[in-house]
Structure 1
Amino acid sequence: AKAAGADDLAGARLASSGACVACHAADRKMIGPSYRDVAAKYGGNADAHALLMQKIRKGGGGVWGAMPMPPNPAVSDDDLKRIVDWILAGAPAPG
């Protein structure tokens, strides 16, 4: 449980930094969907992890509205995994 908590904290910290916060929040819609809404939409999808990693890396649009999400090619694979793990866990508040 301790390792999962550390991963949650890392994922939350990464998703709350950089360009992500301009459009996303854990618990409310902004320009893009909340992370919790993303978790609810993709939570039952076996391919969700790979799909969300690709969407974050390459960008995308049309799923949540007309505003496209810009690509994030500089995010490392490890950081992407932490972010997506945190999102799919329901974007829990750290702590």
Structure 2
Amino acid sequence: MEYTLLMSRLGSQIRETRIRRGLTQARLAELAGLTRQKVIAVEKGTHSVAMNAYARVLSALDCELAVVPATMPTLEELGELFE
């Protein structure tokens, strides 16, 4: 699977979790000890963001990574790869 798709999915899951918990990007940044701009980059799945930033955001959300088999990309996800 294309790594850019995996980064995008991770960012989307982080964003959805933040919203479900009623947190703003600014509040999550505060909890994670990051800037709001870094949280935005994490939620976008930006490739240049260090794993440390992802770990800090996940920790602030009381979440952790789990390794699971990849699923086939949706048509929407495939379209985003070519934007």
TM bucket, shorter chain: 0.3 to 0.5
User: Which is bigger in relative contact order (C-alpha 8 A, separation at least 6)?
Assistant: 1
Greater helix content? 2
After TM superposition, the score normalised by the length of structure 2 is 0.38
